[in-house]
């Protein structure tokens, strides 16, 4: 498969997005290792990447995804919109009960620290593979004055030996990145036990691929080919990538032993919320 864009806009955008979907699948199946560059062209396909002459390149017209003023960012949405969509967890937080929360793939701890700042009765444990992110998270928790209730640990969240019991176990924009999403979901299920709640937040994809698809999916495809698909293929990983569709999450959840997956009625331009039980 070869798509040479040469810095010009695609005359037929529908063809381009079809090719990108094929390309993505080819990469996922490890069939097309010769692909060397995908450009996200913010000027609607008119600029060429600096000095780069990739053997294969795809310049996708898209726009940077940033929330509009009135839309909650990832940081604010967690307490304003996402926890309220989990009435059992929210009521415990409101009642002042001790609430134990785990976040797998917590990155720099944005959600964990936001929750701890808002709810003094919340204890949050964040797990992430990346020690640099965990270092940033630990400093940020101390700076925010919540270091006594927020603990961050460098840990592979797919490790079946992780122990603990939590009221809420969440994974925010990480499942599509991991080589072993079923292992991650297995850990989440175990940490939540019989009574805990499991929340997965991931990209707001459509149920199926359509042509020419929407701007958000174009952005996901570009990002996936540049980063997420590759990281999810590490060490023989399953290779999900950014365009993680609801059916994929349902399949992984079933393989991890969950019986139900509900998509919560929460609006967000970039994310869908899944409650697994
Ligand atoms: C896109 S970032 C999201 C970070 C954070 N949840 C947020 O929303 O800002 C994905 C994170 O998952 C982490 N990650 C990937 N695989 C992991 C694994 N097996 N165990 C724990 N963390 C992992 C990465 O290091 C990265 O910090």
* Cβ neighbours around 105 below 10 Å, total: 20
Written as one string, the DSSP assignment of 181-238 is: HHHHHHHHHHHHTTT-EEEEEEE---SS--SS--HHHHHHHHHIIIIIHHHHTGGG--
More confident residue, 157 or 67: 157
Q: Tell me: the pLDDT tens digits for 102-112?
A: 999 999 999 99
Q: How far apart are CA 145 and CA 140, in angstroms?
A: 9
Q: Kindly give the distance from the C-alpha atom of residue 8 to the centroid of ligand 1, in angstroms, as a whole number.
A: 35
Q: Considering only CA atoms, which of 124, 190, 135, 132 is closest in space to residue 157? A: 190
Pocket residues: Cβ below 6 A from ligand 1: 74, 104-107, 110, 127-130, 133, 156-158, 172-174, 177-178
Section 201-212 average pLDDT: 92
Q: Report CA torsion sign: 122, 128, 131, 137.
A: negative
Whole-number Å distance, alpha carbon 266 to ligand 1 midpoint, is 22
Q: Where are the domains of the chain?
A: 13-62+212-232, 74-205+244-276
Looking at the predicted structure, is the pLDDT value of residue 47 above 80?
Answer: no
| Ligand 1 atom with least separation from CA of 177 | 15
Q: How many Å is the Cα radius of gyration of the chain?
A: 20
**What pLDDT score was predicted for residue 15?**
64
Beta carbons within 10 angstroms of residue 69's beta carbon: 5
The CATH H-level superfamily of 74-205+244-276 is Vaccinia Virus protein VP39 (3.40.50.150)
Q: Which atom of ligand 1 is nearest to the CA of 157?
A: 20
As given in the structure block, the two tokens for residue 72 are 């909650």
Q: Checking phi first, is residue 235 left (phi over 0); if not, alpha (psi -120 to 50) or beta?
A: left
* pLDDT the model gives residue 194: 96
Say what the pTM is.
0.83
Least confident of 71-85, 172-186, 231-245: 71-85
The pick from 76, 109, 129 for probing ligand 1's pocket by mutation, whose C-beta has the most ligand atoms within 8 angstroms, reads 129
């Amino acid at each position: 498969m070869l798509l040479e864009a040469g810095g010009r806009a695609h005359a037929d955008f529908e063809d381009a997005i079809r090719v990108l979907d094929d390309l993505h699948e080819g990469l996922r199946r490890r069939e097309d290792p010769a692909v060397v560059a995908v450009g996200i062209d913010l000027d609607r396909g008119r600029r060429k990447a600096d000095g780069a002459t990739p053997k294969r390149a795809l310049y996708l017209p898209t726009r940077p995804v940033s929330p509009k003023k009135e839309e909650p960012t990832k940081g604010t949405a967690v307490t304003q919109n996402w926890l309220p969509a989990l009435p059992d967890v929210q009521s415990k937080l409101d009642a002042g009960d001790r609430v134990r929360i785990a976040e797998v793939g917590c990155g720099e701890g944005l959600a964990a620290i936001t929750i701890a700042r808002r709810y003094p009765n919340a204890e949050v444990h964040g797990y992430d593979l990346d020690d640099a992110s965990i270092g940033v998270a630990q400093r940020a928790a101390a700076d925010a004055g919540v270091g006594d209730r927020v603990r961050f640990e460098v840990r592979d969240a797919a490790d079946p030996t992780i122990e603990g019991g939590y009221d809420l176990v969440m994974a925010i924009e990480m499942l599509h990145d991991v080589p072993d999403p079923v292992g991650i979901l297995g850990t989440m299920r175990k940490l939540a036990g019989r009574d805990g709640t499991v929340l997965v937040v991931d990209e707001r994809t459509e149920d199926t691929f359509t042509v020419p698809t929407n701007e958000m999916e174009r952005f996901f495809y570009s990002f996936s080919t540049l980063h997420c698909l590759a990281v999810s293929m590490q060490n023989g990983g399953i290779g999900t990538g950014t365009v993680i569709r609801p059916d994929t999450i349902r399949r992984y959840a079933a393989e991890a032993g969950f019986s139900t997956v509900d998509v919560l009625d929460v609006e967000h331009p970039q994310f869908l919320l899944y409650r697994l039980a």
